[in-house]
Amino acid sequence: MHVVYPGSFDPFTNGHLDVTRRAARLFGKVTVAVLENPSKRGQYLFSAEERVEIIRESVRDLSNVEVATFQGLLAEFVKAIGAQAIVKGLRAVSDYEYELQMAHLNRQLVPGLETLFILAATRYSFVSSTMVKEIARYGGDVSKLVPPATLRALKAKYG
């Protein structure tokens, strides 16, 4: 089964990597889909191209994982690449409430499209990209929260 793991991944964290690794063990092919939202271009720390490169380096040992960008509706992207399902990581109840709505909407757009949830590993359940950026911005140590490729990119951005 081919699944899509979508997100902005700005930046890619160890929590994202954990969900990717677990999905790769469960499914034949995983496409990590990096959202490229032109209306939010100035709000991202990393460009879509930078995020793709960071993720590719982080998953290079996973032969059944590819990384791509997408714009527009996720359901249409999933359909266009021939994937059968969406995989989402959940950290908390608040994630579930939002993702449940999105799952129902995506199934309305593409009937039969399933969304599968992978619960965050406990050690990553508090990690968010927003918090990682905030800590890194002020010189805090995020080395236990992100893969080496992300750490290098954050150091390059923040000095």
138 is in an annotated binding site: no
C-alpha pair distances (Å), 157 with each of 62, 86, 91, 99? 27, 31, 27, 31
- The alpha-carbon radius of gyration of the chain (Å, integer) is 15
> Is 41 a residue whose pLDDT tops 70?
no
Arithmetic mean of pLDDT, 37-50: 84
- What residue spans of 13-147 are helical by DSSP H? 14-26, 48-58, 74-81, 93-109, 129-137
User: Tens of pLDDT along 89-123?
Assistant: 998 887 898 999 999 999 999 999 999 999 999 99
In degrees and rounded to multiples of 5, residue 6 shows phi and psi of: -95, 155
Arithmetic mean of pLDDT, 129-149: 96
Arithmetic mean of pLDDT, 35-39: 82
Give me the domains of the chain, ranges plus CATH numbers: 2-158 (3.40.50.620)
- What is the chain's mean pLDDT, rounded? 94
Which helix (H) or strand (E) segment holds residue 157: the answer is helix 148-158
Q: Is 16 a catalytic residue?
A: yes
Burial of 41 (0-12, 13-18, 19+ CB in 10 A): exposed
Partnered with residue 4 across adjacent β-strands are: 31, 86
Cα angle 5, 6, 8; round to 5: 140
Q: Which residue in the block uniquely carries the two structure tokens 């968010």?
A: 128
Q: Are 69 and 38 in contact (CB under 8 A)?
A: no
With bands split at pLDDT 50, 70 and 90, how would you rate the model's confidence at 134? very high
124 is in an annotated binding site: yes
User: Tens of pLDDT along 62-71?
Assistant: 999 999 999 9
Q: Which residue in the block uniquely carries the two structure tokens 């982080």?
A: 58
Q: Is 41 a catalytic residue?
A: no
Q: Is 144 a catalytic residue?
A: no
Res 159: pLDDT:
79
Q: What is the pTM of this model?
A: 0.94
Q: Is 137 a catalytic residue?
A: no
